[in-house]
Amino acid sequence: MAQQFPKKYAILIGINGYENVSKLQFGRQDALDLSSTFLNTLGFDKDDVLTFVEQSDYPPQKARIFHCLGQIKENKNVNENDLLVFFFSGHGMIGKDDGKDYLLPIEASPFNLKHTGIKVEDIADELRGTGCKNIVMFIDACRELNPGEKGVVSIGDDSAEALKRAGIVTFFSCKPRDKSYEIEDLKHGAFTHCILQAIDKGEGKTISSLESYLRKQVPLINESYKKPAQQPYAIIDPAEKKDLVIFFSAAQQKQLDGDLDELLKRVGDLYYEGRLSDDYFNKVTDLISEVREKGSMEQEGKRIILIQKLCSGAFKVVAFTTAWDAHERNRVSSTAQTNLGRLT
């Protein structure tokens, strides 16, 4: 069974019609389509997804955003083991006076960011204040304010440290001092398009698999639509959060369970036929149980492939056990070298 959260919450912000800086085309649509995906694909409850966009009950204004964040904390809506997702699609800038990283609500002024913008570190503090351990943030922006580009955040040390202190996994649409692009044909920012694509394809089940998918696909999308290079990156601290299962639907769980049930059936047949020893039968069934519990094959991909080859007949039992033992030796050796590196 994949990791299940008692509740899943999302705060989604998408802005087009900026009052004091250049307008965007698809920030609003980014937030709306992500909201729809959370509700219809990932099983978020309607009351637990707040979508701040123009022409809605939740306008993307600074006071309104902080009001709702404060209300969530005060009412203790979010619990420790829930999932809390924060998403922003819009402009971002670095404050000239304080060097801080700001997200721009709809009324923000580039001439007075301190009072009209939203500090990234302030958002981190508000989210941490909920007490939730499983917080994931997505920032689809960049700092240049030219048409077709999102003025996103170039993250400085202060913001990075604030996010790490808060234990918030954060995905950024581009590297510091790079630009983040909207794509006319897709009606989305390139970064958000790839998040939606990852969810649809089942490539975003864990933090690790989502990070790998975005890092690979966003540059390819930009290249395909003749946009300049854009390289997303993530802050994942502590490192064990890479295994957090976030974007996993009931349909994907059902498919995974079906695949694992089929492997178990075939492995059971091999054992019953006397072709698989007690030792390897125990190892294989233990691994399949672990994969079912994690809800993802990514972390055990190589050994799962070995099992699949055994079950399909591509590997005879002797070849399977030889490959399995080789993998175990390499895995133990790699772990030992990693631990030695940490000690030195």
Say whether 84 sits in a helix, a strand or coil.
strand
pLDDT bin (cut points 50, 70, 90) of residue 175 is confident
Residue 144 has what pLDDT? 47
Question: Cis bond leading into 110, ω under 30°?
Answer: no
Instruction: Tell me which residue of 289, 301, 308, 296 sits closest to 331, measured CA to CA.
Output: 301
Tens-digit pLDDT profile for residues 294-340: 666 656 678 889 999 999 999 999 999 999 999 988 876 665 554 54
Domains by residue range for the chain, with CATH = 8-243 (3.40.50.1460), 250-336 (no CATH)
Per-residue pLDDT tens over the stretch 27-75: 999 999 999 999 999 989 999 999 999 999 999 999 999 999 999 999 9
User: What confidence tier does 268 reach under pLDDT thresholds 50, 70, 90?
Assistant: very high
Label each residue of 111-172 as H, E or C. CCHHHHCEEHHHHHHHHHCCCCCEEEEEEECCCCCCCCEECCCCCCHHHHHHHHHCCCEEEE
Predicted local confidence at residue 20, as pLDDT: 95
Q: Which of 5-14, 135-144, 174-183 is the most confident on average?
A: 5-14
DSSP bridge partners of 83? 8, 134
- What tens digit of pLDDT does each residue of 144-156 get? 455 555 554 455 6
Q: What is the predicted pLDDT for the residue at 46?
A: 95
Q: Please tell me the predicted confidence (pLDDT) of residue 341.
A: 52
CB 324 within 8 A of CB 280: yes
According to the model, what pLDDT value does residue 156 have?
Answer: 60
pTM of the model: 0.78
pLDDT tens readout for residues 227-247: 998 999 999 988 889 988 898
The mean of the pLDDT values for the chain is 87
